[in-house]
Copies of this chain bind each other. A is one copy, B any other.
Amino acid sequence: MNEKEQKILDTSLVLFVEKGFHGTSTAEIAKTAGVATGTLFHYFKTKEELIDRLYIYTKENILEEVEGDYDNNKALKDNVKSLWLKFVCLGLKEPYKFNFIMTFHCSPYITSFTKGRIEDKFVELLKVYKKGFNDNQIKEMYDELLMDCFWGNILNTIMHFEKNPEKMNNKNIDLSFELFWDGISR
């Protein structure tokens, strides 16, 4: 990807999170990224295309870094914790990326086509864990609830330690996972 195009995306991520979609003007994005407005519109036909591509770019980026590493020799709990931890650590390392996805996940600016394209990859990542879930180690519940529980707890944990950085240590992160695990396990 082109260097200026990249710079525009990186700049937009920060500004959209800090000031919202409509709160950030294309002029400000261009200026902060160090390019002319003409250049911005050369790479992104409209402001909507910009946020749409930023959404894809950011979410793919997150999913790439959090590749699954399911290990059949380990207990289900350990496998789930390993994945949970990867998400949480990434969220704490890259708060803007996570914040952006959270904020704009339900937003009308992101086309539903884009949302669906990305959702599929996430389902794929979790498929391997589903086998483990089906052998009675966890409570009986439908997939969507389990998924929202998992994802909700991750986002909640990230937000909590973002808000209380002085509380962030291994003990409390482990405790946060137990809060999730003891909830879903039988």
Let me know if A123 is at the binding interface, CB within 8 A.
Answer: no
Interface stretch, picked from A67-75, A80-88, A128-136, A176-184, is A176-184
Q: Chain A interface mostly helix, strand, loop or mixed?
A: helix
B156 pairs with A152, CB closer than 8 A? yes
Interface stretch, picked from A19-27, A38-46, A110-118, is A19-27
Binary contact track A1-33/B, C-beta < 8 Å → 1, others 0:
000000000000000001111110000000000
- Chain B residue numbers with a CB within 8 Å of A159 are 148, 152
Given contacts A22-B23, A152-B153, A182-B183, 6 further A-B contacts (CB under 8 A): A18-B108, A139-B179, A142-B167, A144-B160, A144-B164, A145-B172
- Distance (whole angstroms) from the CB of A179 to the closest CB of chain B: 4
Closest B residue by C-beta to A149: B179
- Distance (whole angstroms) from the CB of A34 to the closest CB of chain B: 24
- Chain B residue numbers with a CB within 8 Å of A160 are 144-145, 148, 152
B139 pairs with A175, CB closer than 8 A? yes
B144 pairs with A149, CB closer than 8 A? no
A156 to B151, CA, bound (A): 9
- Distance (whole angstroms) from the CB of A127 to the closest CB of chain B: 20
- Distance (whole angstroms) from the CB of A175 to the closest CB of chain B: 6
A145 is contacted by which of B167, B180, B184 (Cβ under 8 Å)? B167
- Chain B residue numbers with a CB within 8 Å of A22 are 20-23
**Residue from A152, A164, A180 having most chain B Cβ neighbours under 10 A:** A152
Closest B residue by C-beta to A156: B152
